DNA sequence: GTCTGAATAGCACGACCGTTCGTTTTATTC
DNA sequence: GAATAAAACGAACGGTCGTGCTATTCAGAC
């Protein structure tokens, strides 16, 4: 459970002290955030497709209909869960790297943060994986708003990598680097979560460092 | 629809002429194969989780109960679908590369065959993606027989890559190469299927060739 | 305090899920 | 052909799904 305080007049905070809602937030808004956080934890454990009203309501200690009233549909809820997870991703993985001014080091810092996230996304329980990545594969062939949202996130993610590469390794081919870096993360996820490979991190990092040393070159 | 013939006395064949069942196969065995092929096509389009009795029975023009009688449970059906898809994968991606005797070329041939499969797995409709890969991400955190089967496939797949690398690039670090190659395929899948990126193949191949030219080295 | 609207609960619905069972149809063997 | 086994069907089960309704409770403004 991420959310601690609920009372009005107090600032709503999470375990790591982030401020979500100001002191004058209405109760509905507070519950909404609570729902989204719990739903993200559920999605993290069992995939976005497992975010269903009944079990989610039970985890929250509220009724299905009370929960449902906060969203127009289940699909809308799922899309918002993805957005919420993306927020957390930005806070945990992306925001901290701005402190690093050395560009190549910044790229490396991003990659390690990302691997940390893949291993332990900051979404409650601590048990599950990244729901956004899971959604990418779950909905890559299923048209609809969930897929659209997933594609949007992935596009922004690729842009981020491309920018990091552009300033860190100006001579490298950016698109090929995006493919290689993105791939290392995806493969890392499978080796950690599906295979339970204890050495996954070492192998991933070795491949990453070799990639930085000899990147695919522009126009090659 | 893959299966053409059903009558006994004739050899059961698929569109591409593979022989599945001999001429003395019982009717139940024939139907079983027909079910598995159709289920694989369905899984390819919408994921293994979408392989449900009702819709599958309708696509087959048979009753839910008639279908169900061939398997002890839905989970057993899903596991068999994965096994069937893995068979196809072996036939389409792996078997042909034995013809190539030059080891480095064989590795490249495997990779291109794999990309072809990712773009158009040979599983019916032609519309969907690879159900095995989808299952890896769908079930990476969901314990049970489906996950176990998926992990088994992935383990064998990694072994295959490792062997191909070992003979093609003996000086390269095999585990890091597995991570890099597996990753390029996974990322390719997202860029093709989720993002609809027309240039995905060019970027993937550029990264792959750069990887072959400067692979991560042993003990580095 | 009272009032008012927001927030939640309770209940019911139709649809679909996997599964079971008894019956009927269809293959296969004699 | 008849006899027997295999296969498929149809109906029904208990369960869960998402989603409407209406009623109740509760929080916030006066």
Percentages helix, strand, coil for chain A, rounded to the nearest 5? Answer: 65, 5, 30
Same domain, B24 and B119: no
Coil, helix or strand at residue A113: helix
The average pLDDT across A175-188 equals 98
Q: Which residue has the higher pLDDT, B22 or B61?
A: B61
pLDDT at position A218 is 87
CB contact at 8 A, A154 and B162: no
Looking at the domain assignment, is residue A1 inside a domain? Answer: no
Looking at the domain assignment, is residue A4 inside a domain? Answer: no
Which member of A46, A210, A216 has the closest CB to residue B215?
A210
Same domain, A91 and A179: yes
Distance from residue B75's CA to nucleotide D14's C1', rounded to whole Å: 19
Range of the domain at B199: 85-213
Distances (CA, A) of B37 to B91, B99, B120: 15, 27, 16
The average pLDDT across B10-21 equals 47
Indicate yes or no: CB of B133 within 8 angstroms of CB of A129: no
pLDDT at position A219 is 78
The average pLDDT across B124-140 equals 87
Is the pLDDT at B217 greater than 50? The verdict is yes
Q: Average model confidence (pLDDT) for chain B?
A: 89
Indicate yes or no: CB of B194 within 8 angstroms of CB of A154: yes
Lowest-confidence range among A88-102, B14-28, B48-62, B123-137?
Answer: B14-28
Looking at the domain assignment, is residue A197 inside a domain? Answer: yes
The average pLDDT across B133-140 equals 91
Is the pLDDT at A20 greater than 80? The verdict is no
CA angle B26, B31, B36 (to 5 degrees): 130
The string of pLDDT tens digits covering residues B146-193 is 999 999 999 999 999 999 999 999 999 999 999 999 999 999 999 999
The string of pLDDT tens digits covering residues A121-179 is 977 767 788 999 999 998 888 889 999 999 999 999 999 999 999 999 999 999 999 99
Looking at the domain assignment, is residue B112 inside a domain? Answer: yes
Same domain, A58 and A111: no
Looking at the domain assignment, is residue B110 inside a domain? Answer: yes
pLDDT at position A124 is 73
Looking at the domain assignment, is residue A72 inside a domain? Answer: yes
Same domain, B158 and B208: yes
B22's tokens: 């001999």
Same domain, B108 and B183: yes
Give the DSSP letter string of A18-43: -EEE-TT--HHHHHHHHHHHHHHHHH
The residues of B between 51 and 70 with beta carbon within 7 Å of nucleic strand D are 57, 61-67, 69-70
Secondary structure string (H, E, C) spanning chain B: CCECCCCCCCCEEECCCCEEECCCCCHHHHHHHHHHHHHHHHHHHHCHHHCCHHHHHHHHCCCHHHHHCCCCCHHHHHHHHHHHHHHHHHHHHHHHHHHCCCHHHHHHHHHHHHHHHHHCCCCCCCCCCCHHHHHHHHCCCCCCHHHHHHHHHHHHHHHHHHHHHHHHCCCECHHHHHHHHHHHHHHHHHHHHHCCCCCHHHHHHHHHHHHHHCCCECCC
A7's tokens: 């009372």
Is the pLDDT at B96 greater than 50? The verdict is yes
Q: Average model confidence (pLDDT) for chain A?
A: 88
Is the pLDDT at B220 greater than 90? The verdict is no
Is the pLDDT at B95 greater than 50? The verdict is yes
The string of pLDDT tens digits covering residues A26-51 is 777 899 999 999 999 999 988 899 99
Distance from residue B31's CA to nucleotide C24's C1', rounded to whole Å: 19
Is the pLDDT at B20 greater than 60? The verdict is no
The average pLDDT across A198-217 equals 98
The string of pLDDT tens digits covering residues B173-183 is 999 999 999 99
Instruction: Answer with the one of A78, A101, A136 that is the final residue of a domain.
Output: A78
User: CATH number for the domain including A64?
Assistant: 1.10.10.60
Distance from residue B17's CA to nucleotide C15's C1', rounded to whole Å: 41
Same domain, B29 and B136: no
User: CATH number for the domain including A167?
Assistant: 1.10.357.10
Is the pLDDT at B94 greater than 70? The verdict is yes
Indicate yes or no: CB of B140 within 8 angstroms of CB of A134: yes
The CA-to-CA distance between both ends of chain A, in Å, stands at 50
The average pLDDT across A180-200 equals 97
Cβ of B74 near strand C (distance < 7 A): yes
Same domain, B94 and B162: yes
How many CA atoms are closer than 13 Å to the CA of A148, on its beta-carbon side? 7
Cβ of B53 near strand C (distance < 7 A): yes
CB atoms within 10 A of CB A179: 29
Cβ of A64 near strand D (distance < 7 A): yes
pLDDT at position B34 is 95
Strand pairing of B19-21 and B12-13? antiparallel
Same domain, A35 and A132: no
The average pLDDT across A189-210 equals 97
Looking at the domain assignment, is residue A7 inside a domain? Answer: no
Same domain, A181 and A111: yes
Instruction: Answer with the one of B49, B78, B107 that is the final residue of a domain.
Output: B78
Q: Which residues contact A68 (CB under 8 A, 6 or more apart)?
A: A53
Indicate yes or no: CB of B216 within 8 angstroms of CB of A199: no
What does the alpha-carbon distance between residue B39 and residue A35 come to, in Å, rounded to a whole number? 36
Count of structural domains, chain A = 2
Same domain, A93 and A149: yes
Same domain, A97 and A189: yes
What does the alpha-carbon distance between residue A130 and residue A80 come to, in Å, rounded to a whole number? 15
The average pLDDT across B49-62 equals 96
CB contact at 8 A, A204 and A187: yes
Looking at the domain assignment, is residue B2 inside a domain? Answer: no
Strand D: list positions under 7 Å from protein Cβ.
Answer: 6-12, 16-22, 27-28
Residue in chain B closest to A199 (alpha carbons) equals: B175
| Nearest nucleotide (CA of B72 to C1') | C19
In which band, very low, low, confident or very high, does the pLDDT at A109 lie, cut at 50, 70 and 90? very high
pLDDT at position B8 is 41
pLDDT at position A6 is 39
Indicate yes or no: CB of B137 within 8 angstroms of CB of A138: yes
pLDDT at position B59 is 96
pLDDT at position A14 is 46
Which member of B147, B188, B216 has the closest CB to residue A207?
B216
Instruction: Answer with the one of A55, A78, A101 that is the final residue of a domain.
Output: A78
Same domain, A145 and A90: yes
């Amino acid at each position: 459970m991420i959310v601690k305080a609920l009372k009005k007049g107090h600032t709503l905070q999470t375990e790591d002290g982030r401020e979500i809602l100001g002191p004058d937030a209405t109760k509905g808004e507070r519950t909404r955030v609570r729902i989204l956080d719990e739903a993200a934890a559920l999605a993290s454990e069992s995939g976005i497709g497992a975010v269903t009203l009944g079990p989610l309501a039970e985890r929250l200690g509220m009724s299905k209909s009370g929960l449902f009233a906060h969203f127009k549909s289940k699909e809308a809820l799922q899309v918002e869960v993805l957005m919420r997870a993306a927020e957390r991703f930005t806070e945990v993985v992306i925001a901290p790297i701005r402190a690093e001014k050395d560009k190549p080091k910044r790229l490396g810092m991003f990659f390690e943060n990302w691997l940390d996230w893949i291993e332990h996304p900051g979404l409650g329980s601590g048990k599950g994986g990244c729901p956004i990545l899971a959604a990418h594969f779950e909905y890559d062939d299923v048209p609809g708003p969930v897929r659209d949202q997933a594609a949007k996130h992935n596009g922004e993610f690729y842009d981020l990598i491309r920018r990091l590469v552009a300033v860190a390794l100006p001579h490298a081919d950016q698109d090929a680097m995006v493919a290689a870096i993105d791939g290392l993360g995806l493969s890392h996820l499978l080796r950690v979560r599906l295979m339970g490979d204890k050495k996954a991190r070492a192998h991933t990092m070795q491949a990453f460092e070799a990639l930085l040393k000899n990147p695919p070159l522009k126009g090659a």
